[in-house]
Chains A and B, each alone.
Chain A
Amino acid sequence: MRWLVLAEMACAGAAVALVWMVLLARWLKGRPVGRSWLAGLVLVPRRYLVDVHHVVARRPRNARMHALAAGGLLGGSLALLLGVLPGMPPVPGFIIRIVAIVFFVPGAWGALIDRARRRPHTPSQLSGGAFVWLPVALLAWCVGNVVVALSVSDTGLHAAGLAGLALALAGGVALLVAVGRGPMRHGLAGIAWLTGHTRPGRFARAGLLRPFDTALWPLDLVHERLGVLTPRDFTRPELASFDACIQCGRCEEACPAFAAGQRLNPKALIQGLSGAMRERPAPYAGSPAPHAPAMPGGGGMDAEIVGQVLAPDTLWACTTCRACVEECPMLIEHVDAVIALRRGQTLMKGAVPAGAEQVLRASREQAEPGGRALDARTDGIAALDVPVLAPGEETDILLWLGEGAYDLRYGRSLRALVTLMRKAGLRFATLGADEVDCGDVARRLGDEATFQALARDAIGVLGTRRFGRIVTADPHAFHVLKNEYPALGGTWVVEHHTTLLDELVRDGRLVLAQRDGPAVAYHDPCYLGRYNGVIDAPRRLLDAACRTRVEVERHGMRSMCCGGGGGSPASDVDAVTRIPDLRMEQVRQSGASIVAVACPGCTAMLEGVTGERPEVKDVAELVLEAVVP
C-alpha cells in the first residue's frame, strides 16, 4: 500500500514537472528579455503574497476559496508524500499523514466553494467547460487521498485504501489534464510570469505598496520586425502571462469597450493569445468579444494573430484605460499586449482603421493629430495675453496646452486655469506655435515611429527653454511628458493642473470659499488616476470649492473610462452603445448634478452625451467659481 501511494505521488509530481517543461519550451520560443530568471524566481513568493494577494483579496470569498483549494492540494499532497517515504519511522509517519488529512479536508472545502460559484448557473463573467468539472476533480483527489492517508499501513492492501487510491487517481488524472490544457495551467504559468514580469516597477517595495510603472517602453525602430504579428514576436514572459490567465472575468466586468458592446473582451483576448500559441487550442468556454466574427483560432507560433485569432476591431476597440490591468489578479498586462499588436499592424502592415489613418497622417505631416495649424493652438487663450517663451528665455512654469486647446469648450477650462494662475501671481508662459503634439495618440495607435519623431521635436523645443516645471491640463500629455519622455532623453518636473491648484490652495495663495450648490461628482481620468495615482489632489480641491461632493460607484483607481483614450474615438469601432453614455448614467446614479472633469478628452466625451444630464465642468472652472477675490 505504502509503495502504491508513493508511486501515485511520484507519478503526479513527475507529470506536473513534464507538463511544465512542455509549457516552458513553448514560452521560450518568444523573444528573450535581458533579465535573469533566477533573480526573478527569488522574488516570486513576495510578489505572490503581497501583490497578487492585494488584488485577489478584493473579493474575500474568492481569496478564501483559493487559499483553501490551493493550500489544501499542495500541502496535503506534499505531507502525504513525506508520510509514505520509505524509511520513515511509523510514529512520525502517522503524524505526517494526519497533517496531510488536515490539509486535504480544507482543500475539499475549497473545491466545494468553487463549485458553489457556478451554482445554479455559471455567472456570465466566469468560464464554463473545464472549470465546471475542475472542482469535482479537486474534490476526488482530496477525498480519495484522505481515505488513503487513513488506511496506509505496512500490512498489505485494504479494500477501502484501494478505493480511495482509485478515486484520488481519477481526480489526479483529471487535474493533470487541467494542468496541461485547462484551468490549472495558471499555477505553473503564473510562477513563470511572476518570475519574468515585464513591469518589475509595479511591484510593492519598501514604503510603496502600489508603485506605478505604466509608461510604454520605446521600440527600437531598426528591429527586423516591429511590434507583434505572430505569437513568436511576444517576449517569453508575456507568452507565459497569457497562459497564466485563470479566466476569472474581472477584466471583462471592468472593460468599458466590452460594456459598450464593442468587439473586445479582455478575457477572450488573453485566452485568444494563449490559444494562438497552439496548433489545437483548448476550447474557450467564457463569453466572447461581443459581436465579433468567429475566428478560426489557434495556428501556432508562426501564424498571424490578427485575422487568425483576433478580429481587427478587437484591437482598435481598446481605450488603453488599464481597467483590466488594475483588476487582474495575475497582474497580466493586457494593454501592453494590445499596443504590441497594434504596433505590428501599424508599422509593419499599415492596417489601421480609416479614421485612425487620418489622425496618424496629420500627426506625421502637421505635427498635430487634428491637422490644425500649430499657431492656432493659443487662439483660445489669446485674450488673456499669456507670454510665449522664446528659445533661450526663462520662466517658472511652462504651460503645456495640449490638443484640447483647439477645442472651444475646453478653451473655457484653460482660461479658468490661466485666470487662477494669474490670481496666484505665478510667472508662466506657453510655447506658442513651437508646441507640437506630444505624440500620445500616435503612440497608443501603435505608430511608434511618428511618436518618436514628435517626441524628438518636443524634447528639442523644451530643451532650448529654461523653466522650473511643466504644468498641463491634459492628463495624456502629463503622462507622456512625465513618464514616457525620460526614456527618450527628456526629463522634467511635470504636474497636472489639479496638483498645481491644490498646492496653491494649501499654500494660501488661492483662497476658496465653499459654495453651496448641487452635488458634484469627480470623474477620474484614466491617465491621471490609474496611470499616475493622482486621485486625492482633485478631490481636495473640490472639497474646498463645493459643499457637497459625492462619489460615483466606480471611482479612483477603479474608475471607468470616458471612452476617449487610446485613439478609440478616431478608430470609431462599431458598438451597441456609447461608453460616455454608460459613464454618464453612473454619474447620474450617484445623485450628482455636476460632473467635475480634469481632462480635455473626458470633457469632450461626456459633453457629447445627449439629453438631460449632469453638467460637465472642469475642476479649474469650479475652483475659479469658489475663489475669494
Chain B
Amino acid sequence: MRSIVLLSGGIDPLSGRPAPPQGEIAAIGLARSIGGAAEGLHAGGPSPALRLAAAHGLARVDCLDGGGNAVEALATYLATYLGADPPDLVLAGRQARGGEDSGMLPYLLAERLGWPLLAGVIAVGAAADGWLSVMIGLPQGARQEARVRLPCILVAHDAAPAPPFIFDRARRAELRVVPVAGPAPVAAEGAAEGDDRPYRARPRLIGASARTGAGQVLDHPDIAEAATVLRDHLRALGVLGPSRGASPDA
C-alpha cells in the first residue's frame, strides 16, 4: 500500500524555530504502521521542518513548486504526477503550523479529489476488498472502529503513537523540489472562508441539570443497575447520544 503524508513547514509557536506539528508526526506513524512505501508531500519550498519530520520515518519529501494554492497544487500533483501509480492513502495532521493553520486543508483536498475523509484516526487496521478499517480516537479515551473506502484521506489524532526521531534518517532524507504546472503559489484565497454568524446562546447542560433538582438516590446499588441508571440519566440530559444498536452492556 502506498501512502503519502502531507507535511507543513512547521514552526514552533513558542520559539519560532522549525518543528513538525505533533499531528504530522502521528500521521507518519500511521503511514509506517500500514507498511509499504510512505513519502512526504509539502506544497511549498524545502524547509528545515520537513527534514525534522522525515526523521520520524520518511525517506523522501516532495516539495511542490507552483501549482496555484496549496489544495490545487496537491490535487494536481496527485492526479498528474502520480497518475500511473496513485497513492492509496493520504494522511495529514490535525492542523498545520507555520502556514494558514486553519485545519481545513485535508477537507478541502478531499472535496477537490472526491475522496472520503476520516478524522481523529488513532490506529489503522487491515485493508480488504478496497476498504480500510481504522480506529477513531474519541474524547476521554473512547475508541470507535470505522471502515473507509480506499483511496481516502485520514487525519491523524494527535495522540496516535509517534515514531521516534532518528537523526540518521533526517540527514539521509531527500527533499525533492517538484515543479507543478499552474500559476505561482499565492496566498490561498477562500480556503478558510466561513460565514459570519451572530452569537448564538447555547444551552448549558450542566447548569440546567443542576437547577432541575431532579435526581435519584441509590443506596448500595448493584453495579449494573447503577450503570444503567447513570446512563439513562445522562441520555435524558442529552450528554450521551442515543443508543446505537447493540452495546456491550445491553
Which residues from chain A sit less than 8 Å from chain B, CB to CB? 221-222, 226, 346-352, 357, 360-361, 364-368, 371, 373-374, 447, 449
CA distance in complex: A226, B167 (Å): 10
Within the complex, what minimum Cβ distance (angstroms) separates A403 from chain B? 15
A346 touches which of B19, B52, B167 (Cβ 8 Å): B167
Q: B168 in the interface, Cβ–Cβ < 8 Å?
A: yes
Is there contact, CB below 8 Å, between A350 and B17?
no
Q: From A351, which residue of chain B is reached at the shortest CB distance? A: B164
Is there contact, CB below 8 Å, between A373 and B14?
yes
Interface residues of B in 186-201 (CB under 8 A from A): none
Within the complex, what minimum Cβ distance (angstroms) separates B209 from chain A? 39
What are the nearest 8 A-B pairs in CB distance? A350-B164, A365-B19, A350-B166, A366-B15, A347-B167, A449-B167, A365-B12, A348-B168
The CB with the most chain B CB atoms within 10 A, among A357, A366, A374, is that of A366
Interface residues of B in 164-193 (CB under 8 A from A): 164-168, 170-171
Is there contact, CB below 8 Å, between B164 and A365?
no
CB pairs A–B below 8 angstroms (17 shown): A226-B168, A347-B168, A348-B166, A348-B168, A349-B168, A350-B166, A352-B164, A360-B165, A361-B165, A364-B52, A365-B15, A366-B12, A366-B14, A366-B17, A371-B14, A373-B14, A373-B15
CA distance in complex: A94, B170 (Å): 73
Which residues from chain B sit less than 8 Å from chain A, CB to CB? 12, 14-15, 17-19, 52, 55, 163-168, 170-171
Residues from chain A with a CB closer than 8 A to the CB of B12 are 365-366
CA distance in complex: A357, B52 (Å): 14
Residues from chain A with a CB closer than 8 A to the CB of B168 are 226, 347-349
Residues from chain B with a CB closer than 8 A to the CB of A357 are 164-165
Residues from chain A with a CB closer than 8 A to the CB of B19 are 364-366
Residues from chain B with a CB closer than 8 A to the CB of A222 are 171
Q: From A448, which residue of chain B is reached at the shortest CB distance? A: B167
A367 touches which of B15, B163, B166, B167 (Cβ 8 Å): B15
Within the complex, what minimum Cβ distance (angstroms) separates B53 from chain A? 12
Within the complex, what minimum Cβ distance (angstroms) separates B47 from chain A? 14
Residues from chain A with a CB closer than 8 A to the CB of B170 are 449
Q: From B57, which residue of chain A is reached at the shortest CB distance? A: A350
Residues from chain B with a CB closer than 8 A to the CB of A346 are 167
Is there contact, CB below 8 Å, between B17 and A367?
yes
Q: From B22, which residue of chain A is reached at the shortest CB distance? A: A361
Given contacts A350-B165, A367-B17, A449-B171, 19 further A-B contacts (CB under 8 A): A226-B167, A347-B167, A347-B168, A349-B168, A350-B163, A351-B164, A357-B164, A361-B165, A365-B12, A365-B15, A365-B18, A366-B14, A366-B15, A366-B17, A366-B19, A368-B15, A373-B14, A373-B15, A449-B167
Residues from chain B with a CB closer than 8 A to the CB of A352 are 164
Residues from chain B with a CB closer than 8 A to the CB of A350 are 55, 163-167
CA distance in complex: A347, B14 (Å): 25
Q: From A347, which residue of chain B is reached at the shortest CB distance? A: B167
